[in-house]
Structure 1
């Protein structure tokens, strides 16, 4: 049987690193922390993605908080998805506690309470920096993936974008996109048919219904201007610490479609904007996605493929993605296989399904002569976790049951007054607070239709020629289409200005 000294040497050798690193805590032997047997994660591997998993109440959120704090201290900006609303306390120092001192004494690590630079962001009407993007920035492919369209419907979306590009019609929000769709099968049917081919009204009807479904989850607040610039996520404060950007998502837990839409658009924008970084000594930005099952459970096959592709490619831009969820099986295998750091808190074996999940989870970790992984998974306490990371050469480190360090910031939310003060002082809130509704496809097409109707009215009001000169009774086909606007407008109501 291995001794405590042999275990200490095993951990020291497996977690030796020459570069900068994050200390997660101390490795545990026979259920107790081995002081100074520190479990370290090389900073340069933090763009290799990761997973924080475990049952409710086992300490996942505090682990996320610890990682975010330490990355900020190393000058690495962080983006946190706060679905439960319990991460804002990072902006204030921990009040301390005797149990925290006791924990850190066991780890062999001094405890230093401190606050961190925080920016509050919002997708909804909550206070904070408003996150918006235009429909044009999404592009036809990404928008089609989010709406889960068929190949034929994707083609129609591509035609709509092409028409808007050709005719200089800005697609800013969803009412712009809906207007062009309605125009393509209504007043502008002849124009579309001539230049782009016939567009099926049944297909456009399906697309419109899916857009309305997205709007019902609050997407109309997200689409529009002023667009958020992802470079603002990478700010460093005057002390050289990375900003911790917290997106408040407490009011969209029941709107997974909006959450998926936002996440995918953000990742796509980051990937297209950030330069290639290669094998750097530090990541450019690290994102933590809490309640990650909300993305994967509601995603279509096409959307999952898109997510998997981005996860594989975005690492080269120096971006790390960390999924936080209750069970590793919530994450698709194709994504799970890309994750370098795995922090597994305790799992509970209440049912046969739970026991099967524990067995599958144990098989995702390296074998260890010091642990029975399946047994450890059900016996870990709060603030303890199994950790498997990558060393500086990309090799898996030894599996370590770890007594995790405590957060240096407050493990509770900000008060209303503290939150208001934080938001009021933000430069980004001032930058993105104005909602712009400039002239775009909706207004331009409305004006175009009105002019055509006016011309048709003038044509109708002109006096008839003398009987000697025979006139054609055939109506101009373009005017015929345009004069049908009254009927179409009555059915669809597309000319009614949306008052926001």
Structure 2
């Protein structure tokens, strides 16, 4: 019997020959960062394949991050059972493909955006950036432009965007100062600001306020090993998150982008630094703008030199853009159904992506492989794609299926990540700073109005003797009333003009005070 991990050759065992083709399939750890694809129709074994690959990578000391969209992958935290019919089937499969069946558990950290099924996982609007946020909110080009302006001004003025209310307050300020900002950055339509605010409200109602905040997830907390040297398997609870598919896809893309931006170049390491599994990958590219697809393609092309192995899991390879699909060198293709002409075309296209095997027809094999069996092509020496093979995927060592709530709670409570991420933080940021500026501006306005009121009172007091003299003169000299009236009008006009000038100066000082307080840095 062979072991799953061969440290001498730097390989992990994926599966053995099926249908009489006894050709063992190994994944070279050195080429695991050339990325991979797991595809197949519902119920054909994609989840089990993902589970066994995560196990093997963990045994090799490679940390793993994956999304659990059905709750089935939580079983990685518990060892499989050597009893029952499932064990009999696994033992039979293990004997057939020639691998040791070594039941064991794996180190798991549970994460959850809502903080219910795992540690809260957060990011900030500043870290996600305007492009991904615009994708998340389904903004138009004009609205995305306004979002970029809000981020630019926030950066220039030292206004940190750390949570959802920071971004909302920043957009309010942008709308209030649209005329001044338009002169420098381009048109800022208040209608666009309103549309973004409505989209943020929808996101908030879907739980977006849970995603945005601090402490934000640090990559070092997912790229780690346990005391025995196994790579940590980070499981994102995604059952509820899947109800907001755009939020799910945007969060995972943000995490992938963070890995790309923060990790240093390492070339082609002997093993990946971390393996990233993107389940339901079609959600990432569904109605995605061209700029986003180009970003994913760029990340997939360049992130391998940072030691990151990315695996896309989807029902059909056609769900993934051709430019991205071409970056996926390791492929595990489970059965595809071809009942319609469209399905048959997709099947032929999928078969064309493999190096042919003269012993069988690839398209026919993809259509006919059974559950737990796949058509595989893994990179060989020098990164050359291997000849396509029919492969029986090895059985998992951990529990197949979900764990109980009590078991999950035990793992979460024992994790060292609890004290760090359990409580949210609310530091002084854009929302608080803008509120303080508005308060200071209101105080300055009130002071200016009070000063103007005192000036008016003084003018009224100074004018009382003159008014009395005019009234007395009018009683004594009625014949010259018209001239006195003209003289009085001149005096009144002069007084009003001077009062207006003083009021105008006070108003100018007020405006400068308001704008100055708003534009002053932190």
Partners of 1:33 and 1:107 within 8 A in 2: no
- Matching of residues 79-118 of structure 1 within 5 Å: 79-96=65-82, 97-118=87-108
Partners of 1:189 and 1:481 within 8 A in 2: no
Task: Give the structure with the larger helix fraction.
Answer: 2
Instruction: Give the 3-state SS of the residue equivalent to 1:177 in structure 2.
Output: helix
1:70 Cα deviation after fit: 0.5
CA gap of 1:483–1:430, structure 2 versus 1, over 3 A, is closer
The correspondence for 2:53, drawn from 67, 72, 91, is 67
CA gap of 1:431–1:387, structure 2 versus 1, over 3 A, is same
Counterpart in 1 of 2:459? Answer: 466
CA gap of 1:377–1:166, structure 2 versus 1, over 3 A, is closer
Q: Deviations over 1:333-392 (max 9, x none)?
A: 111111011101111222222222211111111111011112111211111000001113
| TM-score for the superposition, normalised by structure 2 | 0.84
CA gap of 1:191–1:481, structure 2 versus 1, over 3 A, is farther
Counterparts of 1:483 and 1:280, CA distance in 2? 57
Partners of 2:136 and 2:247 within 8 A in 1: no
Counterpart in 1 of 2:301? Answer: 312
Q: Whose Rg is larger?
A: 2
Counterparts of 2:354 and 2:7, CA distance in 1? 21
Q: Deviations over 1:24-56 (max 9, x none)?
A: 11123xx2352xx31111111111111111111
1:32 maps to 2:20: yes
The correspondence for 2:29, drawn from 26, 37, 43, is 43
CA RMSD after TM alignment: 2.4
Unaligned runs of 5+ in 1: 1-15, 485-500
Partners of 2:62 and 2:274 within 8 A in 1: yes
Counterparts of 2:341 and 2:66, CA distance in 1? 34
Counterparts of 1:55 and 1:197, CA distance in 2? 48
Counterparts of 1:220 and 1:109, CA distance in 2? 47
Counterparts of 1:313 and 1:350, CA distance in 2? 38
Partners of 2:132 and 2:250 within 8 A in 1: no
The correspondence for 1:217, drawn from 189, 202, 206, is 206
1:245 Cα deviation after fit: 0.6
1:279 Cα deviation after fit: 1.4
Counterpart in 1 of 2:215? Answer: 226
- Matching of residues 221-300 of structure 1 within 5 Å: 221-300=210-289
1:53 maps to 2:39: yes
Counterpart in 2 of 1:12? Answer: none
Counterparts of 1:481 and 1:83, CA distance in 2? 55
Counterparts of 1:252 and 1:199, CA distance in 2? 33
Instruction: Give the 3-state SS of the residue equivalent to 2:370 in structure 1.
Output: coil
- Matching of residues 367-378 of structure 1 within 5 Å: 367-378=356-367
1:160 maps to 2:191: no
Unaligned runs of 5+ in 2: 1-5, 463-494, 516-522
CA gap of 1:94–1:478, structure 2 versus 1, over 3 A, is farther
Count of aligned pairs between the two proteins: 464
1:175 maps to 2:168: no
Counterparts of 2:397 and 2:304, CA distance in 1? 28
1:173 Cα deviation after fit: 1.1
- Matching of residues 415-454 of structure 1 within 5 Å: 415-454=404-443
Counterpart in 1 of 2:129? Answer: 139
| TM-score for the superposition, normalised by structure 1 | 0.87
Partners of 2:376 and 2:391 within 8 A in 1: yes
CA gap of 1:182–1:477, structure 2 versus 1, over 3 A, is farther
Counterpart in 1 of 2:507? Answer: 476
CA gap of 1:190–1:366, structure 2 versus 1, over 3 A, is closer
